Structure 1
Amino acid sequence: MEIIQVVGLGLISTFLILVVKEQKPTFAFLLATFTGVIIFLSLIGKISDVLHVLTQLAEKAKVNTMFLETILKIIGIAYIAEFGAQVTRDAGQGSIASKIELAGKILIMVMAIPIITMIIETVVQILPS
């Protein structure tokens, strides 16, 4: 039922933003940003549950925790960059939003280097020489 609450909050906020936008565009932007933050904060408990389950699965599978941590950081970078780009785009700054997305992609690529290196080393070891 949480999705109904999230959608309800989104619809109410959208209606308020549409009403206020003509008179106070700055307030409308702040309301949109505040709504996004509230929705994100309401999901932190669910994110924590997912992280806990993934950590348990990695321990059972005896996966190197460095890989799990790296993948979780990559996912975090992607979500944060997307959220920042959306807020920036909502403020009418599409070019800055594009730069935020580019920075997120580059940081993801940098974070993925250890995993890519390990995969390449494993493939080289498997191939006959």
Structure 2
Amino acid sequence: MEIIQIVGLGLIAAILVLVVKEQKPMFAFLIATFTGIVIFLFLIGKIESVIQVLEDLAERSGIEPVYLKTILKIIGIAYIAEFGAQIVRDAGQDGIASKIELAGKVLIMVLAIPIISVVIETVMKLLPA
């Protein structure tokens, strides 16, 4: 089971970080960051399979590909912003982490505008004139 490997890696890294943090805080940060990247890379294959399933479902249901791609971009921005913010928080920079999260939210809103427009147009067509 992959989750056991991920949790095991996380626990080992956490212990290493605790041991090394007192002597070399920079190495502790690097261990934590490297561990996060390894876990993310481990999950890329899973993410690809989920995206493939979503693309197949969208194709069968007749949803225009541009909407699915936009939604996937939005999800990607959310995950990347969260990942980046957590790494920066680990480095003790909460202010910068908050700015990364804000940037992610703004970019999500920008990408969501076309989808929101279509939803509003659809609702307007359903309402009596």
The TM-score bracket by the shorter chain reads: over 0.9
Correspondences of 1:44-59 after superposition (within 5 Å): 44-59=44-59
TM-superposed deviation, 1:120? 0.5
CA deviation digits over 1:65-119, x for unaligned, max 9? 1110000000000000000000000000000000000000000011000000000
- Structure 1 gaps of 5+ residues are none
TM-superposed deviation, 1:26? 0.1
Aligned partner of 2:91: which letter? A
TM-superposed deviation, 1:125? 1.0
CA deviation digits over 1:25-48, x for unaligned, max 9? 000000000000000000010000
Q: How far apart, CA to CA, are the structure 1 residues paired with 2:102 and 2:51?
A: 26
- Structure 2 gaps of 5+ residues are none
Q: How far apart, CA to CA, are the structure 1 residues paired with 2:27 and 2:67?
A: 43
Q: How far apart, CA to CA, are the structure 2 residues paired with 1:47 and 1:124?
A: 36
Residue in 2 aligned with 1:32?
Answer: 32
TM-score of the aligned structures, taking structure 2 as reference length:
0.99
CA-atom RMSD in angstroms? 0.4
State the aligned residue count. 129
Structure 1 runs of 4+ with >4 Å offset: none
